[in-house]
Chains A and B, each alone.
Chain A
Amino acid sequence: MSMELLMATGIGALTAVGLYLILLRRSFPVVIGLTFLSYAVNVFLFVMGRLAIDRPPIVGTSAAGYTDPLPQALVLTAIVITFGMTALIVVLSLRAFLETGVDDVTLGIRPDEQPSDTARSEAPR
């Protein structure tokens, strides 16, 4: 077992859970799924700088070396932006729920249902 394997499988698990949840029919699991996907993507970006232990990118005379700071800088803003995005999506789904009384993200179409011209106009607005 190596650290790399742990991280890779961890990222894989987060991605799989995120994908599964965003494929569901209600807005809340989609939000949670997006959060999982964001974890996965952020960590994935971070590990592009490879794994290093005790090599923080803080310049000093006693430092033995530095890990790649660039992915870290990218991921730092990505984490904050993820918060902004999650907040926006949550509020959007909340408003949609308050307007229509349902938190369905399929316009009421069942997976095995035939689409029809009227589906759109009859869907709750």
Chain B
Amino acid sequence: MMLALVVFTPLIGALVPLLAIRAGRNTCSAATAAVTGLSLVLLLTEGLAVYSGEVPRASVPWVSQLGLSLSFFADGLGLFFATLILVIGLLIILYARFYLGRSDPVGRFFCYLLLFQGSMLGIVLSDNILLLVVFWELTSISSFLLIGYWHHLPASRAGARMALVVTCAGGLALMGGMLLLGHIAGSFELSEILSRGDAIRASPLYLPMLLLVLLGAFTKSAQFPFHFWLPHAMAAPTPVSAYLHSATMVKAGIFLLARLWPVLSGTQEWFLIVSLTGLATMVIAAWIALFKDDLKALLAFSTVSHLGLLTMLLGLGTRIAVVAAMFHVLNHAAFKAALFMSAGIVDHESGTRDIRRLGGLRHLMPITSGLAIIAAASMAGVPLLNGFLSKEMMLEAAAHTVYAGQPWLFPLLATVGALLSAAYSAKLVFHVFLGPERHDYPHHPHDPPFGMWLPVALLVLPIVAIGVMPATFAGAIVARTSLAAAGGTLPDYHLALWHGLTPALAMSMIALVGGLVLLWAYRAVNRLRLAVRRPDAMALFQTAIAGTIRASRRLLGRIDNGSLPRYLGAIVATIGLLGLAAFLGAPPASVAGDRATLPATLPAMTGWLVLLLACGLVVLRHYDRLAALIITSIVGLVVSLAFLQFSAPDLALTQISVEVVTTILLLLAINLLPRTTPDELSRRAKLGAGGLAVAGGAGVAALAYAVMTRGFETISSYHVEQSKPGGGGTNVVNVILVDFRGYDTFGEIIVLAIAALTIFALLDSALHGAAGRRLARTRFDPQAGDAHPLMLTVVARVLLPLSLMVGVYILLRGHNMPGGGFIAGLVVAIGFLMQYMASGYVWAHRRARFDAHVMIGGGVALAGATGLASLLFERPFLTSTFGYFHLPVFGEVELASAMAFDVGVFFTVVGTCLLSLATLSRVEERAEHASRQSEARARQIASQVEGSVP
């Protein structure tokens, strides 16, 4: 489990800097370093077992149906990368503490950094390839946040977006590749996959899978032709560049190639694609780097070039090349991070990182210059430094590679790459640090505080140590890592300074000398280069993005124009067609079934005629909104009568009381909305809508008739049988609601509560802004001579205690007779709403002794508490119980815990109705008040004008 903790410590610890920043920047940096340090300690306590030949593992199933599990393992390769991530991470944290300015939000920076660190550790320690893809995407997202850290700078935002688009597109391809790989291998666990290399390479899906995986790796590691995003990502703060773009994130692609090397390599396709991509990237990026005048851009392209070198080595498919690659990963991480940090120091101290404006820094900042020159020399491949050793191994590997029968191609291009690398390193040294002292810097540069150059020094130390005594300082690490990456056994090799007079030594020397010569001829070569037109990656990228946006907007404009009737029409038509297709696809049968039907009675036919009449009327007369509302309530009445007729007294009661509340609500709404609907549709549009409606209605009628005339089996005999003995009530519908399906009901009252609160939020804020101004302008025509007629007021007052009593009665008897919390809540709410109608909002509100919010919250809480109480008796949530008690006066009384639940339902319903309608009437009251005031003012002005006229 320790390994999972290694990954999750930084991910969870990402919250620490956000809190620690309140205690100051030093505490924040220290806390971040502590999180990274903790992760490192965990890693080493667990991981060092690797060096005694073990492979620590940890696994927890996650979504086993998908083959996704939280499984981690640390072999030599994973341990190597994880250690690199954490150690360089610690140095970066120290460096960033001094680099970031006073105005930068440091807490946020460290939060992102830890998120990134955790995701990166997840990639290198995952045993499950799907989990690996998850972490892969997380690095894309966290690096987006880091690159865009200075989000006030347009370049930062553009660079971050570009990096996100490219790496996420690659991530998508990688996901496809990984799914294919898991499909071929029959497992998503790496340890399984690694043992099935032969079967995977023989699979017909090998090539598509390889292409997808490589697309992921190449985009992440900025390989040609996806190299363009990395230089733009340099808009990030330098600690980010040093961390992500030299030592860690861009190495994720390399890690993936190394991780899957035993499975994927060894085929002709792998060799051609990977090694040629790497070779091309190495040479092209080195050429571009040579002519960059921005210090960080030069380093960025040099990183791309070195990543190309690593890719090429892995592409060769020989074990010795893997050893060289792993050795170079270590060396490159050290010298490139050191160089990035030095570049940051130069930028920070002198105020510029334009190489043309720099020079002679050796005199002004001797420590930084010394360290940077050593690191740059290592990058150039100068002997006695670590870069020389791995570069020589690379040249050695290239020297033995024959491509398409041409033994000279790889050695030549590899030498050219190394030569260019020597040239840009020399440019860095000679044009920035050496040369005459300049005095025209924006700031006067001097060496930075100790804390800023210490990380650089700590990185230069291994550069020299490994360079002089490679076997002592890097031998074991390289051996263990390469063994894990290549699988099987390693060929005979030894890390040493002197291998005798080999071809590689000659190539190395040619590269060094040639590099210096090239720099000497820099101006001439640059003139030549400038004569040729080069594509601008950013412009091309932005054109492509803009084109995509334009195309999708055009497409969206066609299908999604914001017109509700259009959407609804499409939905209705689609459902109708689906139904029709299902009907036509089934074996032919008549609509009517063979179940015995009930003969129609006269009252039923009367109700049916009223319904049809109402339906016809509402279609014709709906332009008058009040008329439409009245007709609707007639339909509601017929529906509740139908419920009553067909043995559903509970439904009839519910429907009729809901009808009252809905009608009051709609009346209130009509008062503020336009009174009429314009007759604006063309005849054709009406016919279209009508046709669709009639077809839909006919389909539903036929379906209902077909079902009703056929027999059926129901599961509810259980509910009827268990209602009394199990639920303690004789009203089966109510027992189902509060007991058998209590969980559903609980969910439903929560929905009601949310609806009520949303209504409150929508209306409460309607008194301000544009809505408030429109409300104040609304004119109300007096509908009646008296707003609060005496008759209505008196009757409403008398009815209140009656309706309260009826409500309580319905609530209490609900368990055994028609009734229950829903109906009782509606009846009581109507009693209160009548007071609002009869005497106005202000009067009623002043006398209200309760808060509707509290009722809603209390109701839901009571229902929930009833459910939780059953947990105390170690029964599942919402298990109900009941018993019989003898109370004085009342006699034998049955009490069920479900009743408390029903009381919760009751309060929620009362609160919902009251909150919705009372808020609506409050809005209206305000508007009417404003309207009356402005009318009074108008009258006053009019009378003044009259009075002033003699």
Contacts and interface: CB of A to CB of B under 8 A. Distances in A.
Given A15-B696, A16-B697, A106-B565, A75 B669 contact: no
B775 A35 contact: no
A3 B599 contact: yes
Nearest to B599: A2
B693 A16 contact: yes
A94 B661 CA distance: 17
Contacts, number: 332
A98 B766 contact: yes
Nearest to A26: B677
Interface residues of B, number: 120
Contacts of B572: 19, 23
B618 interface: yes
Contacts of B909: 80
B905 to A, nearest CB: 9
Nearest to B821: A80
B674 A17 contact: no
Contact of A55 (B647, B655, B696, B733): B647
B553 A11 contact: no
B912 interface: yes
Contacts of A91: 669, 759, 762-763, 916, 920
B639 A19 contact: no
B658 A56 contact: no
Contacts of B635: 14, 36, 39
Given A80-B748, A88-B759, A5 B775 contact: no
Interface in B662-720: 662, 665-666, 669-670, 672-674, 677-678, 680-682, 685, 689-690, 692-694, 696-698, 700-702, 704-705, 707-709, 712, 714-716, 719-720
Interface stretch (B493-501, B724-732, B929-937): B724-732
Contacts of A19: 572, 689, 692-693, 696-697
B860 to A, nearest CB: 13
B569 interface: yes
A5 B704 CA distance: 9
B474 interface: no
Nearest to B675: A28
Nearest to A31: B666
B751 interface: yes
Nearest to A101: B774
A29 B517 CA distance: 84
Contacts of A35: 632, 662
Nearest to A119: B561
Nearest to B909: A80
A93 B883 CA distance: 49
B553 A117 contact: yes
Contacts of B661: 83
A120 B489 CA distance: 65
A85 B696 CA distance: 22
Nearest to B550: A117
Interface in B127-151: none
B805 interface: no
Contact of B665 (A73, A86, A117): A86
Interface string A53-83: 1111111100000111110110111011111
Contact of A2 (B597, B771, B822): B597
Find the residue from A22, A42, A52, A82 having the highest chain B CB count within 10 A. A22
A67 B650 CA distance: 13
Contact of B692 (A4, A23, A66): A23
B487 to A, nearest CB: 56
B693 A98 contact: no
Contacts of A53: 598, 645-647
Interface string B718-746: 01100110000011110011000100110
B639 A116 contact: no
Nearest to B568: A22
A105 B564 contact: yes
B422 interface: no
Question: Which range holds the interface residue count of chain A?
Answer: 35 or more
Interface in A34-55: 35-36, 39-40, 42-44, 46-55
Contacts of B554: 117
A48 B669 CA distance: 34
B859 to A, nearest CB: 13
B565 A72 contact: no
A95 B658 contact: no
Nearest to A6: B608
A97 B651 contact: no
B680 A25 contact: yes
A34 to B, nearest CB: 10
A14 B615 contact: yes
B716 A70 contact: yes
B764 to A, nearest CB: 10
B700 A11 contact: yes
Contact of B748 (A77, A99, A111): A77
B752 A17 contact: no
B912 A70 contact: no
A17 B648 contact: no
A30 to B, nearest CB: 7
Interface in A80-125: 80-88, 90-95, 97-101, 103, 105-107, 109, 111, 115-117, 119-120, 123
B817 interface: yes
Contact of B662 (A75, A83, A95): A83
A3 B608 CA distance: 10
Given A19-B697, A23-B565, A29-B628, A86 B648 contact: no
Given A90-B669, A103-B673, A107-B563, A67 B697 contact: no
Contacts of A8: 701-702, 704-705, 708
B480 to A, nearest CB: 60
Contacts of B698: 12, 16
A103 B669 CA distance: 12
A65 to B, nearest CB: 10
Contacts of B680: 25
Contact of B714 (A28, A60, A70, A103): A70
Interface string B762-802: 11001001110011000000000000000000000000000
Given A60-B730, A95-B766, A117-B554, A54 B647 contact: yes
A73 B716 CA distance: 11
Contacts of B730: 58-60
Contacts of A31: 666
Given A17-B615, A43-B642, A107-B561, A57 B732 contact: yes
Contacts of A66: 720, 732
B612 interface: yes
14 contacts: A2-B599, A15-B697, A16-B615, A18-B693, A19-B696, A21-B619, A21-B622, A51-B598, A53-B645, A67-B646, A76-B654, A77-B737, A107-B563, A115-B557
Interface of A: 1-32, 35-36, 39-40, 42-44, 46-60, 66-70, 72-73, 75-77, 79-88, 90-95, 97-101, 103, 105-107, 109, 111, 115-117, 119-120, 123
Given A19-B689, A19-B696, A76-B822, 16 more contacts: A1-B600, A2-B600, A6-B605, A20-B690, A22-B568, A29-B677, A44-B704, A51-B646, A53-B645, A69-B716, A72-B650, A80-B826, A88-B755, A93-B673, A94-B673, A119-B562
